[in-house]
Amino acid sequence: MIDPTSIVLKRFPWLNEEADVVFASSGRTVRQFQAHEDILSTQWPAPGVYAICSGFACRYAVLANGQRQIMGFVLPGDLCDPRAAVFDRVDYSVAALRPVEAVLVPSDYFSTLTGSSASFLRSLWRVTAIDDAIDRQWLLNIGQRNALERIAHLLCELYTRLQAVGLADQQGCNFPLTQTELAEATALSTVHVNRVLMELRHLGLISLRRQRLTIHDDDGLRTVAGFSPDYLSARELRKPGTGRTLPASIALVSS
């Protein structure tokens, strides 16, 4: 059994030193979730911020008619959801798609840290900024791309993100999502997802079999998808302000 603390410190490259300490010291609170179990839910208050160590999860919402829209995948190395540190409730649920192992960082730890460590706060902003950029790409994806492009784009996104945390190699990656889940994420029917995957296979771009995705032609897949990976990495952080002075009443704490 691997030490969860070390997993955490390895998987979250964006963490800085102070945050490392918090994660490590709270790293003993490791929780396991079964497939299909809710990790966070709109139904109950979030106990804190979960850092995913292994397994796949997804953020989702259900419409009144019962249709489910998956709004994003939460992979090892991701936080779900940073805002839980600040808000009592989340407005969407997060479910494990496969068995998930996660470190729970209690809200107290997290919010005290965000209140006291400017550099950690900046890291956190960067993380949420990437999350939001992914959300916007999904909107683009579902709004403007056809089925083939959409599926291809999602595969590119997941492959790239898994590479970033060392869970993919040159040939491909472990890929535990069902076609039904792909359908819920791309707003297509499962039948059509199946046909599109067939087409991607026949185009010689991928293989997908037994939870293993093999990329035969990365460039080709990206071209079909119109994928450019920029949005998945942190943008330039603005240099800390040169210190234009604030009215005295505001400059309560200067760094």
Which of 2, 118, 191, 246 lies at the binding interface for DNA (CB under 7 A)?
A: 191
Under 8 Å between Cβ of 97 and 195: no
Q: Which of 109, 206, 213, 215 binds its own copies (CB under 8 A)?
A: 109
Q: How far is CA 168 from each of CA 127, 149, 159, 163, 224, rounded to the nearest angstrom?
A: 21, 22, 7, 5, 21
CB neighbours of 75 closer than 8 A, spacing ≥ 6? 52, 56, 158, 161, 162, 165, 167
219 binds its own copies (CB under 8 A): no
User: Is residue 235 at the binding interface for its own copies, with CB under 8 A as the rule?
Assistant: yes
CA nearest neighbour of 109 among 6, 15, 21:
21
| Binders in 195-214 for DNA, by CB under 7 A | 195, 197-198, 210-211
Q: Taking Cα atoms as reference points, which of 93, 91, 95, 85 lies closest to residue 35? A: 95
Residue 189 contact partner, candidates DNA, its own copies, none, CB within 5 to 8 A by sort of partner: DNA
Select the residue interacting with its own copies from 2, 61, 191, 198 (CB under 8 A): 61
Beta-bridge partners for 62: 68
Smallest gap from Cβ 181 to DNA, in A, equals 8
Residue 144 touching DNA (CB under 7 A): no
Interface with its own copies (CB under 8 A), residue from 36, 89, 209, 212: 89
Q: Is 131 or 205 the residue whose CB approaches its own copies more closely?
A: 131
Nearest-10 crossing angle of helices 17-25, 4-11:
150
Report the sign of the C-alpha dihedral through residues 24, 25, 31, 32, in that order: positive
CB contact set of 13 (below 8 Å; sequence gap of 6+): 77
**Is residue 43 near its own copies by the rule CB under 8 A?**
no
Contacts with DNA by CB under 7 A lie at 146-148, 178-180, 187-192, 194-195, 197-198, 210-211
Contacts with its own copies by CB under 8 A lie at 18, 21-22, 25, 61, 63-64, 67, 69, 71, 83, 85-89, 91-92, 106-109, 111-118, 121-122, 125-126, 128-129, 132-133, 135-136, 138-140, 142-145, 187, 226, 230-231, 235-238, 240-244, 246-247, 249-255
